């Protein structure tokens, strides 16, 4: 006998079957990227030179921009913690997503602890003939804090709000990373390493949330809500491509050849571009990954 519709047993929704492989691949990409970033920018002469040159050239634009960056960095811990706390508490209390909150907060704390552990345990920069401070500054603690707070908000958001949350959070994390370079607190590689480290913690956390929160991880797809408009994927792609153009132009001006010139800010702008490209690439990839994994309302069997 068929039960009445309202009495039918509720089958919990799950992420799309193949999304587990995609999450595993994304996590592996973060780990490999983190190792490669450390090796190239710390253990090779070319990497050290490029990284250090971007930091040194930040002096030439340190003025009003530096003052603004300092004020932003002074407020960054407070902004990050308040932003994450307000959203996580609101969603937890109103939507009762208790397990998701616990997973997101644990991953956020883990990423920040891991950053401090790596800064203390990784070997000092080897002497590769580049004039630089030997102490290890990778990954950037300020960037990790900003990126992990933004990631926690992203994980707690409903699928229809995640594209917007990803763009805003990614922009916030990028701004924090750029500010540390302008203020000469960190090299570009330190910022990129922070992005990758946060991804290594938040992607597994996201998979657990998708597995345990299938009932609310459903949506109608892109373009059906202001928070899931396609512009939130288009904007970071456009900005990333523009940044790639800036990086190519800046490095081409100092490349060996008849038109080679002495660099005053070219390495700096290339470093800024690297931060922007890495940040928005992570934003687009993460948003697309979670969009793929979330169930469609009109496809319960997908």
**What does the pLDDT read at residue 11?**
43
Assess contact for 105 and 141: CB atoms under 8 A: no
Peptide bond between residue 139 and the one before it cis (omega within 30 degrees of 0): yes
Residue 199: the pLDDT is: 97
How much is the pLDDT for 123? 87
Helices 188-212, 266-293: inter-axial angle, 10-degree rounding: 10
Q: Enter the pTM of the model.
A: 0.89
Is-contact 36 189, C-beta < 8 A? no
Q: What is the reported pLDDT for 67?
A: 66
- For residue 207, the model assigns a pLDDT of 94
Residue 30 contacts residue 203 (beta carbons within 8 Å): yes
pLDDT at 80: 86
Supply the DSSP string of 42-79, one letter for each residue. HHSHHHHHHHHHHHHHGGGG-SHHHHHHHHHHHHHHHH
Residue 245, classed as helix, strand or coil, is helix
Q: What is the spatial distance between Cα 64 and Cα 183, in angstroms, rounded to a whole number? A: 11
How many other CB atoms sit within 10 Å of the CB of residue 122?
Answer: 15
Contact status, residue 228 vs residue 159, Cβ threshold 8 Å:
yes
Instruction: Give the residue among 183, 101, 191, 84 at the shortest CA–CA distance from 142.
Output: 191
Low-confidence stretches of the chain (pLDDT < 50) are 1-12, 300-302
């Amino acid at each position: 006998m068929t039960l009445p519709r309202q009495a039918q047993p509720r089958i919990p929704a799950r992420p799309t079957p193949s999304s587990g492989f995609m999450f595993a691949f994304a996590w592996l990409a973060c780990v490999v990227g983190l190792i490669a970033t450390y090796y190239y920018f710390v253990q090779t002469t070319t990497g050290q030179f490029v990284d250090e040159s971007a930091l040194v050239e930040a002096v030439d634009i340190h003025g009003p921009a530096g003052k603004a960056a300092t004020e932003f960095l002074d407020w960054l811990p407070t902004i990050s913690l308040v932003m994450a706390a307000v959203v996580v508490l609101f969603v937890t209390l109103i939507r009762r997503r208790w397990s998701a909150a616990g997973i997101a907060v644990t991953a956020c704390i883990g990423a920040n602890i891991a950053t401090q552990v790596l800064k203390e345990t990784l070997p000092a920069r080897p002497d590769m003939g580049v004039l630089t401070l030997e102490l290890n500054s990778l990954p950037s603690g300020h960037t990790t804090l900003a990126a992990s707070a933004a990631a926690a908000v992203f994980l707690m958001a409903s699928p229809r709000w995640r594209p917007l949350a990803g763009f805003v959070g990614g922009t916030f994390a990028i701004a924090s990373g750029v500010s540390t370079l302008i203020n000469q607190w960190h090299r570009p590689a330190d910022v990129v390493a922070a992005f990758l480290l946060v991804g290594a913690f938040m992607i597994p956390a996201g998979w657990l949330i998708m597995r345990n929160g299938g009932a609310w991880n459903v949506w109608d797809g892109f373009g059906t809500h202001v928070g899931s408009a396609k512009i939130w994927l288009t904007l970071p792609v456009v900005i990333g491509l523009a940044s790639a153009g800036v990086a190519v132009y800046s490095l081409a001006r100092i490349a060996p050849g008849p038109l080679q010139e002495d660099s005053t800010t070219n390495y700096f702008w290339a470093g800024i571009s690297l931060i922007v490209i890495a940040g928005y690439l992570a934003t687009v990839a993460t948003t697309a990954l979670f969009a793929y994994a979330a169930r469609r309302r009109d496809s319960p069997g997908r």
